Each structure stands twice: as C-alpha cells, then as structure tokens.
Structure 1
Amino acid sequence: MKRFLSTLLVLALFIGTFSGCNKTSQESTKKIGMVISTLNNPFFVSMKEGAEKKAKELGYEIVILDSQNDASKERSNVEDLVQQGISVLIINPTDSDAVANSIAVAQQNNIPVITVDRAANGVEVTCHIASDNVKGGKLAAQFILDKLGGKAKIVELQGIPGASATRDRGKGFHEVVDGNANVKVVASQPADFDRQKGLNVMENIIQANPDFDAVFAHNDEMALGAIKALNAANKKALVVGFDGTQDAVDAVKSGEMAATIAQQPDVMGSLAVENAVKLIKGETIPKQIPVDLKVITK
C-alpha cells in the first residue's frame, strides 16, 4: 500500500511539473516583438514608449529592437525576435522596399506582421497603422500658401528615399503646389529625416539658391536642422515640419517654426500593441488603421 501511495505521489508531482511547463509555454506566446527604424529620433522614441505602456497595461511582454536605419540590421533584429518565440511582429520599416526581406522571415515562421508609420511594398501584411501622409503633405502645402498669400518659392527637404512616408508626404505636397503658376519649388533634396543632414542640406541650398521664402521638411528633425542653418545665414523663411515632436512644438511656440503637421506616434505604438494582442487572442483586426493628424501653429 505504501509503495502504491508513493507511486501516486510521484505521478502527481510529475503531472504538476508537466502542467507547470505547459503553462510556461502558453505564457511565452504572450511575447510581442517590435522593430523600430531608429531610436535616434524623438518621434520613434514616443512610438516605443506608447507600445511599452500599452503592453504593460495589457499584461504582455514586448521586446523592442532598434534597426539604426540599417535594412540589414533590421533583418537580423527580426531573426533574433523569431528565435525568442514572439507571437506577433510589429515593424516600423527602415525602407518600404527593403523591409519585405525582413517581413518574409517572420511570415515563414507563421508570425503575423503589423507595420507602423511606414508601409511595406511588395508584401502583404496583416495590418498597417499610420497617419494619412498624403493628406499631411497637402495640409503643409496649403498652410504655406495661405500664410504667403498664395504665392511662394519653396524648398522641400525630403525624407529617406524609398520610405513610404517620404513618397506620400511629397505626393500630397506636390498635388497642391504643382501646376500653380504662383508657386515654385526651388529645390527638392533628401536629408534622410535627420536633423544634422537637414542642417547640411539647407546650408548648401542657401548658398546655391537663396531666393526662397518657405521650407517644407518631411519631418521635424530636418525642419529643426534647417532652422539652425537659416539662423546662421540670417535668412528668414517660413518653416513647416511634420510629426509634432516636442522639440518642434516648442519651436512653433517660440516662433522659430511656423507649423508642424502633428502625428501621434505614442498612439501608433499603443494601437499596434493593442491589435497585436487581439491577434494573439485569435481576433480579426482591420487591414488599415488610420491615426488622426492636426496642424499645430502658434
């Protein structure tokens, strides 16, 4: 009888241990992976913080990796997260074309993908969360024309070539200004969404063609760099950025920047996690989720 009871005890302990292991395995499916193009930009830091806050609120683990604006680093980040056993991948692409290779890594492992802010070209994803960048470009152009009485010579500082945000913001901007006899785009050059590059490109444009009265930058970082170059050259121009980062809002309040087309990166990060959790629970989510824009002025 004692031997029988001992056997039952061992069996119970085994079942308990096995159940514990199974529970841990189930809990591991609560892990979300997020790959962000760069964390050397306040906009994407806000996106990261929004994602972390929502994950904590919902009781899910999130692992966030920085691609440092490098498509090869982006792919290795995705491979790393797949090895860690994530259930959903949230990705903010470095480049809308190159990201297809990274997304393929996740999809080959049956991991659904949510893109944020920048879309992925040539590959199907479960959901895309972004502002209407075309509309934002139109808002920026219309603001400049309204402020300058419908007549303007404008410099356009473009983002990273190949990024959907660059393409869409530029498209919206040009839909308003192209064909308007009273508007001339005197220069249109990439500065890669980077403040220092915005400064350098603006310096070169001022030297080569100083006859302009407005600047539209595809993001706030480039706009802030452009302002620094304009101030150094004692050149006055209306500057409009895009994103609504805190530095830009402060610059608008101080009068250095005329406006910024404000996105809500923290909301994007939060929505991405919220919908990732829905996927983990087996729920259906929309293919496209828009995030509102607003024009911030003094």
Structure 2
Amino acid sequence: MPVKSLSIPRRRPAIAAAALLSLALAGCNSDVSQVYSSSAPPSGKTGPVRIALLASSSQNGFNKAVYDGAVARAKEYGDVEVTVFDGKFDSQTQFNQVQNVASQGTYDGIVLVPNDNVGIAAAIPAAAQAKIPVATTLFPVGPKLTELKPQVEGIVSTVAANTEENSKKLAEGVVKYCEGKDPCRVAILIGQLQFPFDNLRNKAYRSVLDGHANIKVVATGQGNYDRDTSLKAMQNILQANPKLDVLLSNADQQTIGAQVALESAGVDLSKMYVTGGGGNQEAIKQVRAGKWAADQVDFPNSMGKAALEQVVNAVRGKPVTPVIDANTLGPVPVIVTKEILGEHPDFQGEWAD
C-alpha cells in the first residue's frame, strides 16, 4: 500500500527472482532512446503527472530525504504528484510493488530506491510494457554493480555513484593515516556481506588495505545499518581486540552505534581514525568535532530531485539524462574531513536518522 509519509538508512539489497532475471536482461540497453524497445516510448503526456516513489523502506531517513527531494521538485512543477510506497527492506515486497504499479494504470512514472538492485531487474520490463519510465537512485539496477548506464529495459536514468570507487577512496584515507604505524589495527564494520553492494564495498576496502604489510584487519563485523546492532558488534570486536587504530565503517548509523561501544570502553575517538558513510547530519557534526576522521557523503535529497526530473522528462517526451553522477550533486566532495568541512561551514548534510 502507498503511504504519504516516511521516517532511518540506507538500502539493504537482498536476493530475489533469479529465474526471471534473464528475461529482464534480455532488454539490456545503454541507449535511453531505445529503452522502450518492446513498446512505443511515451508520446509526451500533457497535464498532471503521477509518480510512484518506491522506497526501500519508508522507515528510513535516507529514503525520506529522497522522497522529500522528489516532492520539492514536484512542487516546482506544480502539476506533479508523488506517492511513496514502503518497500519494508524486503526485496519481494518491492518486486511486487513494481508489477502492481505497472498494472494499475494509476501512475505515469517510477522513482526507485532499490532493495535488491539485481533481483528487481526482472520486474522492470513490466513497467516498460506499460510505458512507465523508471529512474533508479543510489544503486544501478542490473547485474553490473559498477555500471551506471541503464542495463535493463525500462530504466531511463540512474542517479547514483560508483560504489567501488567511493569505497576505495575511503580506504585510501586509512592507508594514509596508518603510515608509520606498525601494526595499524583495523576493524571493518559493514552492513551485511550477503548484500551485493556490501560485499562489493568490503572487497574494495580490502583491495586497498591488503597491499600494505603494516595494516592488519583484525575484525569484520556486520552492523546491518542499525545503531543497536552495530553497538553489539563493536562490543564483540573489542572483547577480542581491545586495541584498535581504525574503524572503517560504510554507514553512519553503524558508526554512531560503534561510537557508543568505543567510548563506553574508554576509547578516545579523536586518537583513532574513524569513518562513516552517508553524510547524515549527525555524522557531519562528528567530523566537524574531530571525533570522526572522515565520512563518505551522499546527497539523497538532491538525488530525489534529479530522479524525479528525469522521470517527468521521460513522461513528457523530453530529453532524458541516462546517467547522473550522484557525487556531483552536493557542494562538498564525496569524502569529507574536518578540514574540508571547515571550507564549507554551511553544509549540514542532506538527511537525518
């Protein structure tokens, strides 16, 4: 059922619909002018446009920021309406929502924050058949995790960044910090290694860190993008590894939970190298305060605006930008430090838990 309000982040891909995926991939095409190869493209609708925003979870601050951005852009148009659907962090729920939206005849376009970016690909051609263009945010849809060009028939635009490159940039900061420290003991806190993008992140981290003999990854915990889960994971890590030099985390909620465990154990975070991911408002505060060394920033509100615009363009028969690099949507670079934030005193982050 659609809902009209949202509220902590980021995605959690899962495994889904493998048997149907090959049907979706048969329509793979990086040329947006051909994404409707099995049906005629939209003729250029006039009048009100109704957009379904399929959130990975409506109880999620990152998704709420995407929704808020889409709504803000819709208000600028004046005749565009956005309805949000709760994906409940469940890949099958979101898969069904795509198919339901495609069959209802109620909506003209879809903005998607995918749970399972691979499995959901098999549902997208139903939207293409119904002439409902789809823009995906945060992650590309399809089997190639670092390919931002639309891979599946029906996807008209991808508003995302290269997760592998961003993860390597975050790990490169660890390498720089660890210079002269031997050993430099690193704990990694990842979302869930079963998810394709978390596995990609972890491999990207290790591809950078493992080339340095002084860096020792002493533990890898799974925080599930949740403060309490991350607090417990860090407590377990500290029991076996009371001395840590680095916490490399891919999500701000995880770092916030881990921070409670570390400080409760008497650890001074300013004497460690602590990272997060997402750029939420609490993370920006912690980096400015010097407790966290770096954060990888996302711009979900701006992503929602950009995705909404591309879908409306497609519905109205106007030119569509097939790839929008999400790293370029904000006023700060993708990796921020205290020094960088000092150059951008007004930046607070685009979302909150």
TM-score of the superposed pair, with normalisation by structure 2:
0.71
Residue aligning to 1:259: 294
Q: Match for 2:67 among 36, 48, 63?
A: 48
Q: Match for 1:145 among 166, 170, 175?
A: 175
* 2:77 is the alignment partner of 1:58: yes
Task: Note closer, same or farther for the CA distance 1:271–1:287 as it changes in structure 2 (3 Å cut).
Answer: same
| 1:215 CA displacement | 0.9
For 2:254 and 2:221, how far apart are their aligned partners in 1?
Answer: 11
The residue type paired with residue 43 of structure 1 is F
- 1:159/1:165 contact within 8 Å kept: no
- 1:134/1:170 contact within 8 Å kept: no
Task: Note closer, same or farther for the CA distance 1:156–1:45 as it changes in structure 2 (3 Å cut).
Answer: same
For 1:160 and 1:55, how far apart are their aligned partners in 2?
Answer: 34
- 2:178/2:215 contact within 8 Å kept: no
What do you get for the CA RMSD once the two structures are aligned? 2.3
Task: Note closer, same or farther for the CA distance 1:206–1:48 as it changes in structure 2 (3 Å cut).
Answer: same
The residue type paired with residue 335 of structure 2 is V
- Structure 2, unmatched stretches of 5+, are 1-44, 144-150, 328-332, 339-353
| 1:103 CA displacement | 2.7
- 1:118/1:163 contact within 8 Å kept: no
For 1:54 and 1:167, how far apart are their aligned partners in 2?
Answer: 34
- 2:221/2:237 contact within 8 Å kept: no
Residue aligning to 2:213: 181
For 1:109 and 1:150, how far apart are their aligned partners in 2?
Answer: 60
- 2:252/2:277 contact within 8 Å kept: yes
Residue aligning to 1:133: 163
| 1:208 CA displacement | 2.6
Residue aligning to 1:230: 262
For 2:257 and 2:199, how far apart are their aligned partners in 1?
Answer: 21
The residue type paired with residue 93 of structure 2 is K
Map Cα deviations across residues 6-43 of structure 1 (whole Å, 9 max, x no partner).
xxxxxxxxxxxxxxxxxxx9645x11111111233322
Task: Note closer, same or farther for the CA distance 1:103–1:206 as it changes in structure 2 (3 Å cut).
Answer: farther
* SS at 1:62 equivalent: strand
* SS at 2:116 equivalent: coil
Residue aligning to 2:281: 246
Matches within 5 A, 1:1-298: 27=47, 30-59=49-78, 60-82=80-102, 83=104, 85-122=106-143, 124=152, 125-149=155-179, 151=181, 152-236=184-268, 237-292=272-327, 293-298=333-338
For 2:196 and 2:159, how far apart are their aligned partners in 1?
Answer: 13
The residue type paired with residue 136 of structure 2 is T
For 1:51 and 1:145, how far apart are their aligned partners in 2?
Answer: 38
| 1:94 CA displacement | 1.0
Task: Note closer, same or farther for the CA distance 1:98–1:233 as it changes in structure 2 (3 Å cut).
Answer: farther
**Identity, % of aligned positions:** 29
* SS at 2:166 equivalent: helix
Task: Note closer, same or farther for the CA distance 1:195–1:270 as it changes in structure 2 (3 Å cut).
Answer: same
For 1:47 and 1:217, how far apart are their aligned partners in 2?
Answer: 22
Map Cα deviations across residues 26-72 of structure 1 (whole Å, 9 max, x no partner).
645x1111111123332222222111101111221111122121112
| 1:188 CA displacement | 2.1
- Structure 1, unmatched stretches of 5+, are 1-24
| 1:250 CA displacement | 1.4
How many pairs were matched up? Answer: 273
More helix by share: 1
- 1:33/1:88 contact within 8 Å kept: yes
